[in-house]
Amino acid sequence: MHKTALTKIIKSEVIHMKLWGGRFTKEENQLVHNFNESLSFDQKFYKQDIQGSLAHVKMLGKQGIITTDEMNDIIKGLESIRVDLDNGTLQFDNSEDIHSFVEAHLIERIGDAGKKLHTGRSRNDQVALDMKLYTRHEVEEINDLLKTLLNSLLKVMEENTGTFMPGFTHLQKAQPITLAHHFGAYFEMFKRDRSRLDDIHKRMNLCPLGSGALAGTTYPLDREYTANLLGFDGPTLNSMDSVSDRDYLIEFLSALSTIMMHLSRFCEEICIWNSNEYRFVNI
């Protein structure tokens, strides 16, 4: 067989390998693959997956679990994958998930050293980490957007402490108030929203990496070091809870629902103020 053709076959086998495939003697049925695959949606985690892997491999090198040369090769390989995904040079294929996609391409690029990336780690604690990193970023980004909104509201309030308007109950004129006081109500709402996001961030900001599948590992990992590299307050305390905890997602979705409700109230009121019956504002 021609050397080029053989190389393509080997690359194809590496790319499409399954992390759990060693227990089977026959090729996986396509229906099973379609049912199990998650790359079609967890590909958005690629930055977080590589970020977590970089921290993990640095810890493995620090602990002497892998050699310095292996650590450096893996780091270079991971960074090259991230660059190629960022610029579109590397496209997502039909791998099972983002974890196997990254690992397979790493092995293709640097050889057997890439297989050591998964040392002392399971996909269970890996996906728990990816989800936390992604959600933490979203929490921080939305919190920053709310801060910008609060600054805009505060500016309107400061400029309109003497702007009088009717206060309404059930769309009926009730008592005189200022525009600053009216906008101050929304200021308080969005301030509470930021407080909820801060609470979520504080509770979720513990690193699950090192928990393994459910009961840790015998490798001498330094979980504190990994957590510090990834900007966490520390490692999680119970491995079984670490790989199953998704509480923060429910909390985040609840906070988002409240934020959307407050935004809906504000937008609806602006629409009413723009109507012919009120004519408070022009849009």
Is the per-residue pLDDT at 1 higher than 80?
no
Lowest mean pLDDT: which of 32-36, 71-75, 146-150? 32-36
What would the DSSP string read from start to end of 170-208?
TTEEEEEEEHHHHHHHHHHHHHHHHHHHHHHHHHH-SB-
Q: How confident is the model at residue 60 (pLDDT cuts 50, 70, 90)?
A: very high
Looking at residue 139, its pLDDT comes to 98
Q: How confident is the model at residue 17 (pLDDT cuts 50, 70, 90)?
A: low
CATH architecture of 124-273: Up-down Bundle (1.20)
212 dihedral zone (left: phi>0; alpha: psi -120 to 50; beta): left
Q: Which residue has the tokens 């227990």?
A: 23
CA distance 102 to 151: 41
Is the per-residue pLDDT at 194 higher than 80?
yes
**Helical ranges in the chain per DSSP H:** 3-15, 30-36, 39-42, 46-62, 68-87, 98-110, 123-159, 179-204, 223-229, 239-244, 247-273
Instruction: Say whether 158 sits in a helix, a strand or coil.
Output: helix
Is the per-residue pLDDT at 67 higher than 80?
yes
CA nearest neighbour of 82 among 57, 117, 49: 49
Per-residue tokens: 69: 């040369």
Looking at residue 248, its pLDDT comes to 98
- pLDDT tens per residue, range 244-272: 999 999 999 999 999 999 999 999 999 99
Q: How confident is the model at residue 3 (pLDDT cuts 50, 70, 90)?
A: very low
Looking at residue 9, its pLDDT comes to 42
* Higher pLDDT among residues 20 and 191, named by residue: 191
Q: How confident is the model at residue 118 (pLDDT cuts 50, 70, 90)?
A: very high
- pLDDT tens per residue, range 175-185: 999 999 999 99
Q: Which residues contact 143 (CB under 8 A, 6 or more apart)?
A: 194, 197, 198, 201
- Are 194 and 148 spatial neighbours (Cβ–Cβ below 8 Å)? no
Average pLDDT over residues 67-77: 98
Residue range(s) occupied by CATH 1.10.275.10 in the chain: 3-119
Single-letter amino acid, residue 92 = F
Looking at residue 19, its pLDDT comes to 55
Share of residues in the chain with pLDDT > 70 (%):
91
Q: How confident is the model at residue 8 (pLDDT cuts 50, 70, 90)?
A: very low
Average pLDDT over residues 107-117: 97
Q: How confident is the model at residue 22 (pLDDT cuts 50, 70, 90)?
A: low
Is the per-residue pLDDT at 6 higher than 80?
no
Per-residue tokens: 250: 């429910």
Q: How confident is the model at residue 21 (pLDDT cuts 50, 70, 90)?
A: low
Buried b (16+ CB within 10 A) or exposed e, 37-49: eebeebeebbbbb
Looking at residue 14, its pLDDT comes to 46
Per-residue tokens: 242: 């670490």
Average pLDDT over residues 103-112: 97
Residue range(s) occupied by CATH 1.20.200.10 in the chain: 124-273
Specify the CATH superfamily of domain 3-119.
Answer: Fumarase/aspartase (N-terminal domain) (1.10.275.10)
Supply the mean pLDDT for the chain: 92
Helix (H) / strand (E) containing 164: strand 164-169
